[in-house]
Structure 1
Amino acid sequence: MRTKRIDLRTGTSESITDITSACREFAANGGESGLLHVFVPHATAGIAIMELGAGSDDDLLASLRDLLPADDRWRHRHGTPGHGRSHVMPAMIPPYATVPVVDGRVELGTWQSVAVVDLNVDNAERHVRLSFLTSPAEGTG
């Protein structure tokens, strides 16, 4: 297994950050086939595979605002008002995704991208763990 950590700043407002190019670059190293696993080790962020741009980013953030309002209803109450919703969001947008890779090419659909979804305005520093898994060579154990 190969692995790499990428660091990013998601800012001080709700955000969707495109990490597709980092995923493609990492998967292309070696030209192998396997699985690219993308994981964000934070309790308040998720990984989405979706179309970015063309309004989809804004639609997702608007939907999350409707489903998870930033108000005082949350029992988890430290941080900015509504911070508790950031801890609920990864149950809807999980902190991981796995994408097939064929001959070093990430096999995303035409309009698909890999993105970090972050509602937490209290922490702009994020890390993403990319892991590339290959199967043992044919004919071995």
Structure 2
Amino acid sequence: MKTVTERISVGLEAETGMEDITAEVQDAVEKSGLHDGIVTIFIIGATGAVSTIEFEPGLLKDVPRALENIAPSDIPYEHHLTWGCDNGRSHVKSTLIGPSMTVPFTDGKLTLGTWQQIVAMNFDTKARSREIVIQILG
């Protein structure tokens, strides 16, 4: 077994900024020289997340709207009272989606569906540059 770790930075807009990072993850797998294994994608930070989505304009609107229904911006959060900040909903959203995911790869190619892209997400109330760890095991 061999492990290869890469890091990338992605600039993300505030409040559910999403960026397709599939190509960067695929490039890291190809550069690793490994043929079969798994790749874990992890975003650093308490208000970021990683998931898969069909990266198309409709869903780029639908996902934020659905998450707003789950963790609305117009209600009080205990996090605000504790820390004097405004991003309690950001923490709730990132907790629900999660900071990492694992994708298998075969013959050096990610095993993803036709309409399935890997996305980095920022739920914070301000734009952020997020560091993403790509760890390949094979």
Q: Do both proteins adopt the same fold according to a TM-score greater than 0.5, normalized to the shorter chain?
A: yes
Q: Distance in 1 between matches of 2:34 and 2:102?
A: 18
Determine the structure 1 residue equivalent to 2:11. 9
Give 1 or 2: higher helix fraction.
2
Determine the structure 1 residue equivalent to 2:93. 89
The reply to whether residue 41 of structure 1 matches residue 64 of structure 2 is no
Q: How much has 1:31 moved relative to structure 2?
A: 4.7
What is the root-mean-square deviation in Å for CA atoms of aligned residues?
Answer: 1.4
Q: Distance in 1 between matches of 2:93 and 2:100?
A: 13
In structure 2, the CA distance between the partners of 1:14 and 1:90, relative to structure 1 (3 Å rule), is closer
- CA deviations on 1:24-76 (whole Å, 9 max, x unpaired) are 11111215110010001211111111111041121111101111111241111
Q: Distance in 2 between matches of 1:126 and 1:117?
A: 9
Determine the structure 2 residue equivalent to 1:23. 25
Q: How much has 1:8 moved relative to structure 2?
A: 1.2
Q: Distance in 2 between matches of 1:3 and 1:32?
A: 15
Q: Distance in 1 between matches of 2:66 and 2:60?
A: 10
What TM-score comes out, normalization by structure 1 length? 0.87
- CA deviations on 1:85-127 (whole Å, 9 max, x unpaired) are 1111222101000000111101100100000121112351111
| Contact 1:70-1:85 at 8 Å conserved across structures | yes
Q: Distance in 2 between matches of 1:8 and 1:23?
A: 12
Which amino acid is the alignment partner of residue 112 of structure 1?
A: Q
Q: Percent identity, please.
A: 28
Structure 1 stretches of 5 or more lacking a match? 135-141
| Contact 1:31-1:105 at 8 Å conserved across structures | no
Aligned pair count? 132
| Contact 2:71-2:89 at 8 Å conserved across structures | yes
- Could you list the structure 1 runs, at least 4 aligned residues long, displaced by more than 6 angstroms after superposition: none
Structure 2 stretches of 5 or more lacking a match? none
